[in-house]
Amino acid sequence: MKMNRLGKSDINISALTLGCMSLGTDKNNAKNIIDFALDMGINHLDTADLYDFGLNEEIVGEAIKDKRNQLIITTKVGNHFNKESNDWYWDPSKSYIKAEVKESLKRLQTDYIDFYMLHGGTMDDPIDETIEAFEELKQEGIIRSYGISSIRPNVIREYVKKSSIDGVMTQYSLLDRRPEEETLDLLHQNNISVLARGPLAKGLLSNQAQKIVATKGKEGYIDYTGSELTRIVNKLTEQSTEVTNLALQYVLQHPVVATAVFGASSIEQVAENSKVDTEIPLTDKDYLALKEITKANRYKQHR
């Protein structure tokens, strides 16, 4: 498994990341999935305080407590939630971030977080105050590095200009090429890594794509209609029976992308996704051929 440096930090993460939101609530099953991911060379786990209202962090913490030094842990903050009433509201304030990080540390059974992300963000946020909170946590040694999880180009540009973020998690796939137009090159120029989430587009770009397009894909995806998705998946399948590999290699091709983040609820899913050879990039010919199959869509909202 290829390892890539996260921005300007001293953190190296695997080219594939296990997104933990889909692990479920069975602690033994979650531990088995995480252990298997480790065996496949994945060293990076992504969770968030909001996932199952803290339970996901607890499950991850229990699963990794004996192997903490082998892993890079990412979690997120900004959704002020109430576990009892199962509701939340957006809160990027300095006071909430500095209080909530302590709760995440407890749930994760660790005394530091490798990479801490703001779980969203808008132009109406007190951005300077938010950055101040993360910078202080970094100086205090509670976090090693920080970034944001966002698909909003304007927000991303603000953090590039004002902060020392090392990474941006953003949705990016063959079916969602919007970051190519506005953010990938900007982040690359500023030595800020991209963590590409949704690289398999809810399974529409997996080895089960034809079956998924025939069911969930009927409603379309972003600015693609159901019939367009069927056409694309048929073309991808003609190019390779390993559609999952094509999809993952495509997002990893851009030099700014440090890792592709996929969710998994079973060992089988981790095994399928881990078959991709992260050391060997696509040829220029194959990369351009994939670009011809899909379209360079653009952000119409999310400003």
Cα distance between residue 118 and residue 116, in whole Å: 7
Q: What letter represents residue 137's amino acid?
A: L
Q: Catalytic one among 51, 146, 159, 224?
A: 51
Cα distance between residue 129 and residue 49, in whole Å: 20
Looking up tokens 């200009």 gives 161
Q: Is 287 a catalytic residue?
A: no
Give the list of residues 6+ apart from residue 71 with CB closer than 8 angstroms, or none.
Answer: 38, 43, 44, 45, 64
Give the list of residues 6+ apart from residue 100 with CB closer than 8 angstroms, or none.
Answer: 49, 77, 80
CB distance 62 to 27 below 8 Å: yes
Q: Where are the beta strands (DSSP E) in 101-256?
A: 113-118, 143-149, 167-171, 193-197
Cα distance between residue 121 and residue 163, in whole Å: 14
Cα distance between residue 162 and residue 152, in whole Å: 16
Cα distance between residue 161 and residue 87, in whole Å: 33
Q: Among all residues, which ones are annotated catalytic?
A: 51
